[in-house]
A and B are shown apart, each in its own frame.
Chain A
Amino acid sequence: MTTALALPSSTTALPSTLRTGLSRGGVELRMFFRDKGAVIFTFSFPAIVLALLGSINDEPGPGSPMSQVLAASMIAYGILSTAFISIGTGIANDREDGTLKRLRGTPVNAGAYFIGKTVLVAVASLAEVALLLAVGVLMFDLELPTDPGRWLTFGWLLALSIVACTLLGIAASGLARTARSAAAVLNLPVLVLQFTSGVFVHISSLPEAMVRVAAFFPVRWMGQGFRSVFLPDSMAAGEVAGSWEHPVTALVLGAWCLIGLVLCLTTFRWTDKRAG
């Protein structure tokens, strides 16, 4: 029975992890932007909040108006939304609807799956940041910097923020028992940290203890970092230390990238552990 098999022996090499990963990135993007619910609630939501909060706080004061401070800070919200929340809920969904299980039964490995997610996060985050900046510029006269040094800061800040949020989102996806609870589980820390880190309200108006605790988490440093890129240096006086603190920012965000990586490697599961 073994002789007359018309099957080719598997001499052809498997497609590389990178190639499969990029191909996954393509379908991840298509699926994300075709899902109207996701586009409205995860993607446009930060821009809508910015438009509302900015319009409420638009009176000119000393220094930059609060609407511009918000526009800069809310870039942190944008990244939290497209990297942390949508990755976390996305993976919880993939686990529940059988995407991960199906992939597990093919030659796709975890590396390719995560390359796909990385492509999705990178594109979605850049689009999100562009959308927020557009709202800031068009509605609140935010001025985009011309100094290349500031764009350099923006570059490393963006990269560290996206990587840290994505890794933490992947790790957090395992906390939710179902895809439906994932959105709630992931939104809670995001909202709490944004209030306590001075994204929605000016950090100088927060109680000191709250500010101290929030300083352990990445959101505080993301917000402060993006303010340093888009607000004049005179505004640094309003920050906790009276300066932009770039070295500490890089250190804290870098540390969270490492923590996130360790958490991912130790907690990622292809399927729900109750599936046997």
Chain B
Amino acid sequence: MNAIEVRDLHKHYGSHRAVAGIDLQVREGEVFALLGPNGAGKTTTTEILEGYRQRDNGTVRVLGQDPGTAGRDWRATIGIVLQTATDAAELTVRETIKHFRGYYPNPRAVEDVIDLCGLREKVNARVRSLSGGQRRRVDVALGIIGRPRLLFLDEPTTGFDPEARRQFWDLVRTLSGEGTTILLTTHYLDEAEALADRLAVIAAGRIVAEGTPRTVGGRDRAPATVSWVDGAGPHEVRTTDPIGTVVQLDGRGGISGLQVRQPSLEDIYLDLIGASA
């Protein structure tokens, strides 16, 4: 069964088409990343899947149910980390997590979640007093306390320092290892590359490319860049046969600073976004 099934999804605000026909399948147990520029429609799509917003058209199945009408039992099986929130300011971190634990039939242990989310040092601090990145970790903690089968993460690592980001990646891998399906929205391409089994790039409300981080947008077939410096200065060529190019250069001599680069996910992404704009 697919955890998420979306066909021909549409949503507009006034005359603005925020989502203009999206098809999406996320398999159970998969980590799926949504990429795309600001305003592409990622949050709109995610919040329709979470049951917050009503769609104008299309069919949506999330864990087998229509999020627009699903009930409490369904909500107990999903976890949500929203893009923005500033609530629960006067409670401490532990109180907040403990309180949310009580909402679920089969929750994780509070202390486990505190450790998983790197909140141990701040357990007794009021949420109001936390830094942006620490606040975000609380959001993540509240998203996973209920042991969801499907976890939505909308830009979860915004404001994380590099170490916290790596810890968060480990957390996602742990959850994924336990079988949790994860739909992740992010602007960090290294994050998508590190975590996602598959990903889709959205631009202007449509999916412009879909695949694994290695193959999306024809990345595996795209030309590599070979660059070097010789007596005449620096050179750079794009070629589908980088080995051949290097062998040719070998015959010439006087070459320094030789580099062969496959296109990064970022190169592919920027090409896709540029082409669709």
> What is the interface of chain A, defined by CB distance below 8 A to chain B?
1-2, 4-8, 10, 12-15, 19-20, 23-24, 26-27, 30-31, 34-35, 94, 97-99, 101-102, 104-109, 271, 275-276
Contacts and interface: CB of A to CB of B under 8 A. Distances in A.
Interface stretch (B81-89, B207-215, B232-240, B247-255): B81-89
B40 to A, nearest CB: 16
Given A2-B28, A7-B178, A276-B53, A98 B87 contact: yes
A275 B89 CA distance: 22
Interface of B: 1, 13, 27-30, 44, 47, 50-53, 72-73, 75-78, 80, 82, 84-91, 95, 99-100, 102-106, 126, 142, 146-147, 149, 178-180
6 contacts: A1-B27, A35-B90, A97-B89, A107-B73, A109-B72, A275-B52
B147 A7 contact: yes
Contacts, number: 111
A98 B91 contact: no
Nearest to B105: A12
B90 A30 contact: yes
Contacts of A7: 147, 149, 178-180
Contacts of B87: 94, 97-99, 102
A14 B27 contact: no
Can you list the 3 inter-chain pairs with the closest CB atoms, starting with the nearest? Answer: A98-B85, A5-B179, A12-B105
Contacts of B84: 98
A176 B30 CA distance: 42
B119 to A, nearest CB: 17
B27 A105 contact: no
A117 to B, nearest CB: 15
Contact of B102 (A6, A13, A19): A19
Nearest to A2: B28
